[in-house]
Amino acid sequence: MISSRLGNFLNDKLENYIISAEKVAHVQMGNNLEHALLVLTKCGYSVIPVLDFEFKLHGLISSAMITDSILGLERIEYERLETLKVEDVMQTKIPVLTNSHDIEKIVKLLVDSPFICVVDEAGIFEGIITRHVILKQVQRYIHE
């Protein structure tokens, strides 16, 4: 049986668990892959959001996508890191949340992703919600 506290958690809103955009590493459209790889390496993440200059979300880029884009038939073509742009290799079909989504929808999406990007009605990036944050809350309710 689900306790009333856990029920309240499941009906809670996304805004209570979001990691704000200011705290999330990202790259911008127009950045080359060398810059994106540097950001990914320095922050220690494998995937980060791609934003435009108005901070609208356009997709995600990963170190695996970058590596795949520079693999030639006989060698790794490192020189392509300078010429290819993030928009050339980023993933654009990604799940996205808004503040109107509830925890139940968030949990469903987080089954397949370590984090989900959150945008406002205009597509402006507001931050991310992570599987880690949600699982910590579930654990808290289970052990109380």
* Integer Cα distance of 72 and 4 in angstroms: 57
* Integer Cα distance of 64 and 36 in angstroms: 12
Evaluate whether the domain defined by 4-143 bears CATH number 3.40.50.300.
no
Q: Which backbone phi and psi does 55 adopt, to 5 degrees?
A: 65, 25
* pLDDT, tens only, 7-38: 666 666 677 789 999 999 999 999 999 999 99
Number of neighbouring beta carbons within 10 Å of residue 48: 22
pTM passes above 0.85: yes
* Integer Cα distance of 111 and 107 in angstroms: 6
* Integer Cα distance of 61 and 67 in angstroms: 11
* pLDDT, tens only, 48-75: 999 999 999 999 999 999 999 999 999 9
